[in-house]
Amino acid sequence: MNIIVPIKQVPDLVEELEINSAGTDLDREWLKMKLSEFDDHALEEALLMKDDGGANVTAIALASDDIDKALFAAAAKGADRLVKVNGVSGSSTHEAAKAMANAIQGMDYDMVMTGVQAVDDRDGQLAVLLAHYLNIPHVSVVTGVTVAGDNVTVLKEYGGGMVAEFEASTPVVLGIQAARETPRYVPVAKVRRASKDATIEEVDAGDLGVDAGSTVSKMYKPDTGGGAEMLEGSAEDQASKIMELLTQKGIK
């Protein structure tokens, strides 16, 4: 079983996000990036399948700042092969998916598992776009994967805790919502060692030829109009104010 896991870095939302001077994108100069949490789940699920009964796991990413570190971290966690795709700039997920499809097409694979979404995929989720560029089936919002021969049983989550079970034949692309286990942690020392031991293969993005797109006119912080009345003071003061509120509203 060969599993390919496309991963990417996204802005760490714990940090303050600033908008660039054109007002159309984030100011990326000081942006702190981290592995997209859904990709982390996809990688974890692939590595668990490797742990369970053997799978060969390839982590693949588009070239960007710090991406080598993310790939080496994947190797430190257990990925067998690292691939970097050069030649894509900009934030179009369609272009990213096309570049990934070009790179993956020639590889030997049974499954592609990647995050169900990312915090910045404005023009759609990579998993489904990639599947359609590869012309193979796809299921997204996946929370369970079981393999039996050439068949994969997947659990797809709906709203309200309802889950649907599907059976697909390989090759298939899965958009992973959550792995069975919390994604594993890897110490920095191990990543450093991987950066010495592991190698990153580099491939070219090839023909992107994606013409259907959209143009951003404005990025701004949402103002929902309402907004909370902020209760100031120490924790004690704030707790007292909340007690007053709860009494007022007849809750306590």
CB of residue 108 vs other proteins: minimum separation in angstroms?
19
222 preceded by a cis bond (ω within 30 of 0): no
CB of residue 222 vs other proteins: minimum separation in angstroms?
5
CB of residue 202 vs other proteins: minimum separation in angstroms?
26
CB of residue 36 vs other proteins: minimum separation in angstroms?
12
Contacts of residue 170, defined as CB under 8 A and 6 or more positions apart, other chains included, come to: 110, 111, 150, 151, 152
User: Which of 72/109 has CB closer to other proteins?
Assistant: 109
Q: DSSP for 66-87?
A: THHHHHHHHHHHT-SEEEEEES
Cα–Cα distance measured from residue 46 to residue 154, given in angstroms and rounded to the nearest whole number: 13
User: Which of 75/103 has CB closer to other proteins?
Assistant: 103
Cα–Cα distance measured from residue 194 to residue 78, given in angstroms and rounded to the nearest whole number: 10
User: Which of 119/188 has CB closer to other proteins?
Assistant: 119
CB of residue 192 vs other proteins: minimum separation in angstroms?
27
User: Which of 21/214 has CB closer to other proteins?
Assistant: 214
Among 110, 104, 100, 112, CA closest to 45: 112
User: Which of 129/191 has CB closer to other proteins?
Assistant: 129
Burial degree of 22 (CB within 10 A; 0-12, 13-18, 19+): exposed
